[in-house]
Each structure stands twice: as structure tokens, then as C-alpha cells.
Amino acid sequence: MSEKPENANDHCPGTDSKDAGKSSACAGCPNQTICASSVPKPPDPDIDVIKERLANVKHKVLILSGKGGVGKTTVTSHLAYGLAMDEDTQVGVLDVDICGPSVPVVMGLAGEQVHNSGSGWSPVYVQDNLAVMSAGFLLASAKDAVIWRGPKKNGLIKQFLRDVDWEDMDFLLVDTPPGTSDEHLSVVQYLKKAKIDGAVIVTTPQEVALNDVRKEINFCRKVDLPIIGVVENMSWFVCPKCTKTSEIFPPTLGGAEAMAKNMGVPFLGKVPLDPRLARCCDEGKSFLAELPDSPATKAYLDLVAAIRKYCKIKSFDE
């Protein structure tokens, strides 16, 4: 039996409704102010512009997690590295974590800057078939704090989607901040006509993370965002010397696999915790290339295969 969403409100008008945040059913909802203020009021001409801009991007995948600190950016970057191992696959990563843009560091692009041309902003390339755009490229210093209210963050997200020249891309992975607030609503709404393939939801095994992930799943259902599946990160620890394994975050209620089954969403797999992965992220290197024999590398390649299979089946080319 599927779990019932916590504090579910069956009368919610939905984020796309003109009554979002304003109807009597919205009273007491923690997202009431966000829905009332951040939903683009139709007609929003930029939604059609974004559709045209991303017309040559075949597959758009959001990487979500209700909980911070679960390794979402690490998963995003290494899914991108894995997809880009096929030289014929063009991959883009869009980092919309405005206040904590860590993709540039993880992907070895710290200190790079965005260039503007007649066709728009040019993403920064890790390699010939792997490009990145992040708010981190717009900061004068990596130590600068981004202290913005919601509307300004939403405006930058719209600008990323509208003005970046991705050219021809097979996959665009969108790395989002934790939660279910402004940035998430904006991305889903701005990409409404551009068609999102779905979301990959990242968690760790402990119940405190799974509670927030349940909210993320309910968010996806509320905004009609397909769920590709759930990834359990840091499932166990692999000793790099003796290869013995142990559980760092023991699941109390079955972990992500049981949660996914109870909520009726696909479970994509488990990624072990390898301390060398953190080192590669700090150094801006691909763990998949540096340590191809690690169990974590195999887990990532299995995830890449699952995403390719899903996107091949759920094709918008028809």
C-alpha cells in the first residue's frame, strides 16, 4: 500500500492555477507565499522562448532531493561524466543552486567565467562533449555570498534557461538545491513547454533524509513531474585498501528501496561511499576515470544505463 503524503491537501489548486496560493485550500500551507508570488502569470512569453532555445536539447533531467548533504551535486556531476563517456553523446549540466553553486569546483572549473556572444551565454566546457553553466561562474570570488530574495533567484534561473546557448545536446542535467521551493517551482514552470523527461531523486539511507525525500516525491506528483527513480547514495562504506564494507548510515525502516516501494516509485540503485570520491570532487576530477574498478564506479555506470533506458523509452521525438 502506498504511503499517504504527510499533511496532504486534496483540494490544492496546483502551482499552475491562477488560484495558486490564493484559494481557501492554501491557508496554512508552508508554500502559500511562494505559490502566490512566483508562479508566472500567463501569458509568459519567455516560456515559449525557452521552448525554442532548448528545442535542440533532447532530454532534460532534474536532480532533486528534499534533504541537503546527501551528495546530490556529486551524483549530478558523475552522471554527467558517465553519460559523456560516450563521445557521441553531448551532455550539459545546469547548476541552479544559486546560493551554493558547487558544480564548478566538483567538475574542475573553479575560477572560470561565462562568455557572452551574439547567440547568448556560452557554457564552460569540461571536455568537448561536456558543458556546464552555474551561478558560480558569475561570482567575483568563490567566497562571495549570494544574498538574494526569491524573485531575483527566479530571474537568474529564467535567464539560464532562456539565454544559454547549449547548441545540440543529448542530455541536460539540472542540479537543484535541497527542498521544494522557489527554484524547483521555477524550473518546472519555465520548462513546462520544453518537456522534462523526469527527475532523479537522491537520498541517503537514514530516516531523517527519507522523510524529506517523501515530500520531494509528493512535490513531483503535485506539479506533474515524472519520477525516473530514487538513488540511495552513501549506502555503505567501501574500504579502499581491503575492500571490506560496512554501513555508515544504517537504515531503520528499510532505507530508500523500501521507501520507493511503499510510495510506488522506481528504485534505481545504491551508490557506496568511497572516500576517494570526495577527494576527486575536491580536485575537480572524474572519479569514474580515476578509479574505474571501484564499486562506486560500477554503481554510477548502472545508473547511467538506467537513465539512458528510461529516456529512450520516454522519447519526445514523436
Integer Cα distance of 165 and 51 in angstroms = 13
DSSP letters along 231-295, please?
EEEEEEEE-TTT--EE-SS--SS-HHHHHHHHHT--EEEEEEE-HHHHHHHHHT--HHHH-TTSH
Give the mean model confidence (pLDDT) for residues 41-68. Answer: 90
- pLDDT score for 318: 42
Inter-residue contact 69 to 202 (CB < 8 Å): no
pLDDT at 176 over 50: yes
Lowest average pLDDT, out of 82-86, 134-138, 177-181, 297-301, goes to 177-181
Read off φ and ψ for residue 220, nearest 5 degrees: -60, -40
Interval 114-127: pLDDT, tens: 888 888 899 999 99
Integer Cα distance of 244 and 241 in angstroms = 8
> What sign does the CA torsion over 283, 288, 294, 297 have?
positive
Of residues 32 and 115, more confidence is placed in 115
| pLDDT band at residue 1 under the 50/70/90 scheme | very low
Integer Cα distance of 173 and 75 in angstroms = 11
Integer Cα distance of 136 and 144 in angstroms = 9
Q: For residue 114, what are the contacts with CB-CB under 8 A and spacing of at least 6?
A: 121, 122, 123, 124, 133, 137, 138
Name the DSSP class of 190.
H
Give the mean model confidence (pLDDT) for residues 232-249. Answer: 83
What number of residues does the chain have? 318
Domain 43-313 has CATH 3.30.460.10: no
Q: Which three cell numbers stand for residue 126?
A: 569540461
The counts of H helices and E strands in the chain are 11, 11
Q: For residue 246, what are the contacts with CB-CB under 8 A and spacing of at least 6?
A: 236, 237, 239
Interval 253-283: pLDDT, tens: 889 999 999 999 999 999 999 989 999 999 9
The domain limits of the chain are 43-313
pLDDT at 143 over 80: no
Integer Cα distance of 92 and 166 in angstroms = 7
pLDDT at 148 over 90: no
